């Protein structure tokens, strides 16, 4: 069983590589002490935030 960490962060940049596949850079300084190499993150966006222009 894994520990769940929920943080609110900001998308710094977003690039669509191919249709519906995005590369995103997020401000994740608050995860540096909890994340381990090889871990995945799940991103949940409120409203239309994900598709908003940066």
Return the beta strands (E) in the chain as ranges: 11-18, 21-26
State residue 33's pLDDT score.
73
> How far is Cα 18 from Cα 41, in angstroms, rounded to an integer?
20
State residue 18's pLDDT score.
94
> How far is Cα 13 from Cα 6, in angstroms, rounded to an integer?
21
Write the pLDDT tens digit of every residue in 7-35: 778 888 989 999 988 888 888 787 777 77
For the chain, the straight-line distance linking the first and the last C-alpha, in angstroms and rounded, comes to: 36
Task: Pick the more confident residue, 29 or 50.
Answer: 29
Residue in the block written with tokens 């249709």: 19
């Amino acid at each position: 069983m894994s520990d769940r960490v929920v943080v609110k962060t900001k998308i710094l940049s977003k690039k669509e590589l191919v249709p519906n596949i995005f590369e995103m850079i997020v401000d994740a300084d608050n995860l540096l002490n909890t994340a381990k190499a090889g871990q995945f993150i799940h991103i949940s966006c409120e409203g239309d935030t994900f598709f908003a222009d940066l």
